[in-house]
């Protein structure tokens, strides 16, 4: 298997820890969206881009013993992480553009924060939709169509940091800004792939100070250290980077997560459609 898309994905790529942190933070909110989107007991469902398996387990819990939950991911380390949870369901290491599944065999497909990793998203969506039975639906989920809010008290620094992150990814993957923005057009992608009965819902996942342990772990490790960290130093003015370091340092008196006015907002958009 080769890379399926423009973001450096390949069968041995491993960012399992980041996925686990996000799923611990956002999992309960995403489960509510699954139920609203139509996942029901007894269904046959697919988690397309299942990552480390936490979301797949939630799907399995909803469909119950009379249903079937399958997970597929390109990454062998992610599949191994899913298997280590003991998820009582099927796992496949495969490219989403070449799924070894029968047509008309599924009732629901969940595909979150994944479609932007595919080189030809329209073709992949058509292929996935062909797996659905009559009345089935596919759900494409994506984080942060609306910018996340980290520093409620400093809009300027938050804007500069977000712009620095986008520039870093453009440089890292040699992408144009329009390439990174294309994922926002999920409704258009659904229509281009020939799906109908399209519905969209955006939810805000909010956390206030003092934050719970899962939120702090996600923000501290996945955002402050991995997404931001040293990699942003070349993209920010010296004084702005110094301020960012203070806000992200749990040993510093200015640590953002201990401020009484800390208010974190993460948005997640789900677009569903039917063949």
Listed as own residue / partner, the contacts of 208-211 with beta carbons closer than 8 Å and 24 or more positions apart are 208/262, 208/263, 208/264, 209/257, 209/258, 209/259, 209/260, 209/261, 209/262, 209/263, 210/257, 210/258, 211/257, 211/262, 211/264
> How far apart, in Å, are the Cα atoms of 4 and each of 25, 56, 59, 94, 185?
27, 21, 25, 10, 20
> Average pLDDT of 223-238?
97
Determine the Cα–Cα distance for residues 137 and 274; give it in Å rounded to an integer.
Answer: 5
**pLDDT over threshold 50, residue 2:** no
Residue 238, classed as helix, strand or coil, is: helix
| Mean pLDDT, the chain, whole residue set | 92
**pLDDT over threshold 50, residue 73:** yes
Q: Where does the pLDDT of residue 1 fall: very low under 50, low under 70, confident under 90, or very high at 90 and above?
A: very low
Sign of the Cα pseudo-torsion (30, 33, 39, 41, in order):
positive
Prediction pTM value: 0.92
């Amino acid at each position: 298997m080769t890379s399926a898309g423009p973001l450096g994905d390949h069968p041995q790529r491993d960012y399992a820890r980041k996925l686990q942190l996000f799923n611990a933070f956002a999992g309960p909110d995403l489960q509510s969206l699954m139920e609203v989107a139509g996942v029901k007991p007894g269904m046959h469902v697919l988690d397309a881009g299942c990552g480390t398996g936490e979301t797949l387990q939630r799907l399995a819990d909803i469909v119950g013993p009379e249903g079937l939950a399958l997970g597929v991911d390109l990454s062998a380390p992610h599949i191994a992480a899913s298997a280590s949870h003991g998820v009582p369901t099927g796992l496949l290491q495969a490219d989403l553009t070449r799924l070894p599944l029968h047509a008309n065999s599924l009732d629901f497909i969940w595909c979150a924060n994944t479609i932007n990793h595919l080189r030809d998203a329209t073709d992949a969506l058509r292929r996935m939709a062909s797996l659905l039975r009559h009345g089935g639906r596919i759900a494409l989920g994506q984080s942060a169509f609306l910018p996340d809010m980290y520093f409620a008290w400093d809009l300027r620094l938050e804007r500069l940091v977000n712009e620095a992150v986008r520039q870093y990814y453009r440089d890292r993957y040699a992408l144009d800004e329009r390439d990174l923005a294309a994922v926002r057009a999920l409704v258009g992608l659904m229509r281009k792939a020939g799906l109908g009965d399209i519905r969209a819902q955006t939810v805000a996942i909010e956390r206030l100070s003092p934050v719970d342990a899962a939120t702090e772990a996600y923000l501290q490790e996945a955002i402050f250290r991995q997404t931001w960290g040293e990699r942003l130093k070349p993209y920010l003015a010296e004084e702005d980077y110094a301020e960012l370091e203070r806000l992200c340092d749990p040993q510093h008196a200015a640590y953002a997560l201990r401020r009484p006015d800390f208010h974190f907002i993460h948005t997640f958009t789900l677009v569903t459609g039917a063949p």
